[in-house]
Structure 1
Amino acid sequence: MSPSLTRHLMRRAAYAPWALLVAVLMLASNSAHAIPAYARQTGSACADCHAGAYGPALTPYGMRFKLNGYTDTDGQGTKIPVAAQITGTHNVPARGDDTTQLNEVDVYLAGRISDHLGGYVKVLTDNQGNDHFNTKLSNVDLRFVAKDLKIAGKDTTIGVSVNNSPGFDDPIGAMPYTSGLGPPAVSGTLLNLSSANTLYNRVIGGSVYALYDNDWYGEIGTYNTMPTSVQDHLGYNPASDPGHLSDTGYFRFAYMKDLKSQFFSAGVVALTTKRQLPRNAPSDDVTDLGYDLTYQFLGNREHIVQASYVNIYEQRDYGSTPVVGGVVAKPTGNARDQTLSVTYTFKQSYALQVAHLISTGNQDPARYPPFGKPDSTANMISLYWTPFGKDDSFTSIANLKLAATWYRYTRFNGASMNIFGAPVGALITNAKDLDAFTLSASVAF
């Protein structure tokens, strides 16, 4: 994060610290949910693809559907590949006024085009406050897939994905861009959707992927950031431009094992690029390296337990070393984002999710004033009820989700107290002032 952006955050936080949390909540809402258009297309209930009937975590059946390019069908004629979602929230921040509003309206164009072509496109309209709505192109994942291949006598699937967020196309769903779980970060990794100047939905790229012998998954691709004019037309503020990327490579490899009543996976991920931020600045060499572990106990679907751990480390070689307050910035740096999430679901209707989110970085007083550390630690606890989307429910092709979510901060911007270093006599913001409790209702049809 640049010093100017840090100062901007400090000024905003002095008047409205909860605005930072609202931004995190908005990011979290972008995770993929069960899409009724897919249920209509396949003839399967939403709960067949998702561990909870509203998602987002995929079952092994749902992972295969994604790997097959969203093309599987029940063969009962053509279905309209359109779905919608409406979300309302009541937000109670630790500091500031309560708000109740229609938070988001989404339209999905999702489904098969042919036996080998399919996709997922989300158009999001969110409430910016005071009933000012902004429409933007959200997640995109368009696929061409060749199925039922044999290599060395083993089942093989090979596909091509064109998408706008590295990792969103990942079948396991552990990556931050897929799960919607990214540690709130002052200076996070490129693969963390909650980082400043995130790549999320602001890049375009493609990758070639393969699943071999039903267990081994590999993917390699590249990305470029969209021009700021295109970002603006798609509904994104150019002020949050992630910068210009060049020589970008993305790599993903995972072992996935479906044991019917259980599933586990272990994977690695890498992203390397040269980034200019701002676009006329010298290039920073940035490399992300990470690993992830996922476990699901599915049983007979009455009691489901899911656990995942993601650890992403980023190494930076800066193209410039600015001087701030007489202190010279370091020529190299690093960041680390970690997420541990555990979810228990009863009868695919009642669920408790607990997540521990950590973002850390190296000491650099010039880049991270006033304390020289960008560390943040937060916890998320969410209870939710999903009555529909199962074979034995009122309808299996529509969804309702009622949720209560609590965000709790113990550290932000490298401190627990006076996190923005306000002078004596000014309004002080502590990490706990970013806490919030949110009630939400979402319906998808």
Structure 2
Amino acid sequence: MPAFQPAPRCTATRTACLTSLLCVSGPLLLLASTQAQAIPSFARQTGSSCADCHVGSYGPSLTPYGMRFKLGGFTDTDGEGTKIPVSGQLTWSRNNPSRGDSTSRLREADLYLGGRLNDNIGGYSKIRSNNSGNATFDTRLDAVDLRFVGKPFQIAGKDTMIGVSVNNNPGISDPVHVLPNASTLTPASNGGASTMLSSSALSNRVIGASVYGLYDRNWYGEVGSYSALSPSAQDRLGWPVNGDPGKLSDTSYARLAYMKDMKRQFFSVGLTALTTRRQPLRTGPSDDLTDFGYDLTYQFLGTREHVLSLAYVNIYERRKYGSPLMSTDPTLPALDRGSVRDQTLSMNYAFKQTYGVLAAHMINSGSFDAARYSPVGIPDTTSNLILLYWTPFGKDGTYTSMANLRVSAGWFRFDKFNGSTSNVFRGPPITNPRDLDSFTLSVNLAF
């Protein structure tokens, strides 16, 4: 994660304010991103509605049908001729932080290229244009997942599928859509305390490929590797070079999951791992980072009148620093090892795939390190998301099943931040966790 360095003449007060802004920006983006990923061009291609693939008709939570569509390389079709594989999305939001000014604006415009080339090749990519205010826009290549899927065959009398995913975000290929970079549910954290699988440090700044397989319709496995894009390539794709994750080597990704679709119910148990050697400055010492995670998912689908999805994700990261940081306290030694952990417990309920609530409890914790986690030496942060939404379209029997609209109200609140439940920056102005809360109204239109 890039380090934030205030100007030398900054006072403790200004440092606290800037740090607060830096750390809360992630949750605000999360409020918007939980409302994305349903792509109408897929509905037009398959003849299925958004509600067939997504809990709540909009995303990002996938139903078992949506999981199969993703595993099949986004190639399923209704056979009714060629469809234009292009979709768009507009996002308007009003953000009301506990401290600071409220803002209302058209925040984002997205262009999706998503669909099939033939029976074996499909995928999607997203081009995002952000409105940062004052008529300032930046355009970025935000997500890529291109796939090749072989013809199904049998091993020991069991159906087997093998495919390849080329993508720019570790974990986005997850078929269960529960890992952080697929679900977009990520614990808020202080600075560099997030795990590599949970944070956005690698998102869109790497390129990699993985081979995946599905055996007996239940067992899923995936192995792959990633390399960091050069700073110049990141810049050309619209990403500021100050967010460069550094040089990566020996980067491996693995995923194993057991998935059981019982028509009216679904459950899965999964394991995931990521290991890499990272040079934050692209020269000099390297940090060795290893992530291990497990996840549990349950869905009640019933007759689709009531749909409930429950998920728990636990990711632990072990760190060995190539260049330990020195604390300002000379009595404390520099630590060359550390660990962090991210946990997310989430619930998504939808009534008639139209009215719904998404709730998530997120915990980020880490080992003591006075140099990295000022001022108390631990990064522990506990946050909660509550999102109420209304999705009137995107399902059979509505005005249109091939386009969609979502209106939502989201509240992001903190119980603990920066290792503290009060005065989190240990300096004036006094900032408590609740001062970092925010309330957001959003309208998303996908077409």
C-alpha contact 1:88 1:442 (8 A) present in aligned 2: yes
Equivalent position SS for 2:419: coil
* Aligned counterparts of 1:12 and 1:235: Cα–Cα separation in 2: 28
Give the CA deviation at 1:147: 3.0
Q: 1:82 aligns with which of 44, 64, 86?
A: 86
The equivalent of 1:406 in structure 2 is 411
Report which stretch shifted further, 413-422 or 79-88. 413-422
Task: Render the CA deviation track for 1:217-252: whole Å, top value 9, x for unaligned.
Answer: 000000011111111111111111111110011000
C-alpha contact 2:75 2:119 (8 A) present in aligned 1: yes
The equivalent of 2:73 in structure 1 is 69
The equivalent of 1:50 in structure 2 is 54
Q: How many percent of aligned residue pairs carry the same amino acid?
A: 56
Q: 1:168 aligns with which of 145, 168, 172?
A: 172
* Aligned counterparts of 2:15 and 2:150: Cα–Cα separation in 1: 50
The equivalent of 1:435 in structure 2 is 437
* Aligned counterparts of 1:328 and 1:72: Cα–Cα separation in 2: 58
Report which stretch shifted further, 411-420 or 134-143. 411-420
C-alpha contact 1:173 1:179 (8 A) present in aligned 2: yes
Pairs aligned (count): 438
Within-5 A mapping of 1:170-319: 170-186=174-190, 187-193=193-199, 198-319=201-322
Give the CA deviation at 1:70: 0.3
* Aligned counterparts of 1:191 and 1:373: Cα–Cα separation in 2: 20
Task: Render the CA deviation track for 1:145-200: whole Å, top value 9, x for unaligned.
Answer: 01321122111110000000111011100000000000011211000135xxx111
Establish whether residue 338 from structure 1 lines up as the match of residue 343 from structure 2.
Answer: yes
Q: What TM-score does the superposition give when structure 2 sets the normalisation length?
A: 0.95
Establish whether residue 5 from structure 1 lines up as the match of residue 4 from structure 2.
Answer: yes
Give the CA deviation at 1:55: 1.4
User: What code does the residue aligned with 1:261 have?
Assistant: R
Give the CA deviation at 1:7: 5.8
* Aligned counterparts of 2:15 and 2:111: Cα–Cα separation in 1: 32
* Aligned counterparts of 1:30 and 1:227: Cα–Cα separation in 2: 26
Q: 1:120 aligns with which of 121, 124, 127?
A: 124
* Aligned counterparts of 2:22 and 2:405: Cα–Cα separation in 1: 27
Establish whether residue 393 from structure 1 lines up as the match of residue 392 from structure 2.
Answer: no
* Aligned counterparts of 2:225 and 2:323: Cα–Cα separation in 1: 25
**Unaligned segments of structure 1, at least 5 residues:** none
Establish whether residue 367 from structure 1 lines up as the match of residue 372 from structure 2.
Answer: yes
Establish whether residue 94 from structure 1 lines up as the match of residue 78 from structure 2.
Answer: no
C-alpha contact 2:23 2:189 (8 A) present in aligned 1: no
C-alpha contact 2:245 2:280 (8 A) present in aligned 1: yes
* Aligned counterparts of 2:83 and 2:21: Cα–Cα separation in 1: 43
C-alpha contact 2:53 2:66 (8 A) present in aligned 1: yes
C-alpha contact 1:309 1:339 (8 A) present in aligned 2: yes
406 and 28 in structure 1: CA distance in 2 versus 1, 3 angstrom threshold:
closer
C-alpha contact 1:362 1:373 (8 A) present in aligned 2: yes
Within-5 A mapping of 1:103-114: 103-114=107-118
Task: Render the CA deviation track for 1:245-287: whole Å, top value 9, x for unaligned.
Answer: 1001100000000000000000000001101112223011110
C-alpha contact 1:317 1:332 (8 A) present in aligned 2: yes
Establish whether residue 350 from structure 1 lines up as the match of residue 355 from structure 2.
Answer: yes
Q: 2:385 aligns with which of 371, 380, 384?
A: 380
30 and 407 in structure 1: CA distance in 2 versus 1, 3 angstrom threshold:
closer
Task: Render the CA deviation track for 1:306-325: whole Å, top value 9, x for unaligned.
Answer: 10000000000111123231
* Aligned counterparts of 2:18 and 2:371: Cα–Cα separation in 1: 24
Give the CA deviation at 1:18: 4.5
**Unaligned segments of structure 2, at least 5 residues:** none
C-alpha contact 1:18 1:93 (8 A) present in aligned 2: no
